[in-house]
Amino acid sequence: MSLYIDIKYLHAISHRLENFKKKSQDLYNCRCPICGDSSRNKKKSRGYFYRGKNDLYYKCHNCGAGQHFGTFLKNFDSNQYGQYVVERYAEGGHNKTSHKTVESVLTFEEPKFNKKPEPRLIDSIMDRLDTLPDDHEVIQYVTDRKIPRDAYSRLYFIRNVKDVIQLNDKYKESIVTEEPRLAIPFLDGAGKLLVVSLRGIRGESLRYINVKVDEDAPSIFGLDQVDPSREVLVVEGPLDSLFLDNSIACAGTSFGKIDQLPIPKENITIIFDNQPKNRDVGKLMNKYIEMGYKMVIWPDSVPGKDINEMIENGLTSDEIQRIINDNTFKGLAAKARYAMWRKV
Ligand SMILES: [Zn+2]
C-alpha cells in the first residue's frame, strides 16, 4: 500500500502547507509552495494532491508543476523524504520489488483521476478556443458554424479524444478512437465541471461523445453563466444556446427535467428544435404546455431545424431573438399553435 505511505507523509507535512485542506476522498488542496501561488491573493490555493492508481500526485494549476508525491517531498523536506524512501523500500520488500531503484518507484505511469476533478484540471488536457490561432483546425470549424467569438472562452479543443478519460476513467473501454474534437464543458453554478460534450470536427459518424464527470449530474449547459432572475431561454443544443442571451441547453434526456431546474417557471421559455415530425419532442412539448410553461412554436417560414442551422442559413441572432419573441405562447394559445405546427 504505497498510497497509504504517501498519505501518511502528506499528513506529516500538512501543517507546513498553507491553506491545506482535504477536499474529498483522496483529494487535498493547498497554496502551491513551488510558485508561491498568488502573491496578492492570500486565499488563492491552486495546488492539488490527488490519487493516481496506487500513488499520490501533485499538480499546481498556477505554475503547472506536476509530479509524483515523492518528488514533491524530496524538494519540500529532504529529511522526511529520506525516511519516506526507507519506508517505501521496506514495503517494496514484501512485494519482491526491493531491487527497484528509487527513481523507478517514483516514475510511475501517467496518473489518472478517478475522483471528481477540480474544474481547472480541464485546462491541462485541453486548449481553450480563445487561446488558439485563427488558422487552427477547430477555429476554422467554429468559424464555419458562425459561433460567436465571445463564446470561444467557453469552448475547448482536445487533441486526442481519449485524453478525456482522465476526467472519468469509466470511459476507458468505450472511447476507442483518438481524433481531435471540439469540447463543450458543462459547469454548474459554482463552476464545477459536470459533463463534457465532445463534438466531432472531421465528419465522424459519431457526432457527439458525452462524458459525465459527475455521474449524477444533469446534462445542462450554461448553469455557470445564466441569471435565473431574468428571462431564461432553454434550448436543446449547447452550441445553439451560444447565439442567444441568457440561454441554457438541456442536452439529451435532461430536456425531460426542465421542471427540476433551479429557475422560477415564469422566467423560463422553452425552445425545442423545429422538428414537427418528431414524436418524442411532441410528447415533451405537450407535457410542458400542460404544465403552463411558455414555449416557442416555430413559424413554417424559419430556415432550419435548429438555431445554429438558422444562423448558417443567414439569420442573425437579433432576427432569431425577434422570431422567438413573436412566437412564444402558453396555455390554450400554445395548444392551438402547437396543433397547427405539427400538421405542417
Ligand atoms: Zn504552483
What the chain holds in terms of domains, given with CATH numbers, is 2-106 (3.90.580), 116-217 (3.90.980.10), 220-344 (3.40.1360.10)
Question: Residue 276 has what pLDDT?
Answer: 85
**Sheet containing 208-212: which strands, arranged edge to edge?**
127-128, 156-158, 181-187, 193-200, 208-212
pTM: 0.65
Question: Residue 88 has what pLDDT?
Answer: 82
- What's the 305 CA to ligand 1 centre distance in angstroms? 47
Q: What is the pLDDT of residues 298-340, one digit of tens each?
A: 998 899 999 999 999 999 999 999 999 999 999 999 999 999 8
Question: Residue 55 has what pLDDT?
Answer: 86
- What's the 35 CA to ligand 1 centre distance in angstroms? 4
- What's the 151 CA to ligand 1 centre distance in angstroms? 28
- What's the 88 CA to ligand 1 centre distance in angstroms? 26
Question: Residue 208 has what pLDDT?
Answer: 93
- What's the 332 CA to ligand 1 centre distance in angstroms? 59
Question: Residue 118 has what pLDDT?
Answer: 47
- What's the 319 CA to ligand 1 centre distance in angstroms? 47
> Which residue in this structure is represented by grid cell 422560477?
264
Question: Residue 27 has what pLDDT?
Answer: 86
* Ion ligand 1 nearby residues (CB, 5 A): 32, 34-35, 60, 62-63
Question: Residue 67 has what pLDDT?
Answer: 86
pLDDT < 70: residue spans in the chain: 1, 91-120, 344
**Sheet containing 56-60: which strands, arranged edge to edge?**
21-24, 27-30, 47-51, 56-60, 66-68
| Measured distance CA(213)–CA(170) in Å, rounded | 9
- What's the 76 CA to ligand 1 centre distance in angstroms? 13
- What's the 94 CA to ligand 1 centre distance in angstroms? 36
- What's the 78 CA to ligand 1 centre distance in angstroms? 19
Say if CB 281 and CB 273 are below 8 A apart.
Answer: yes
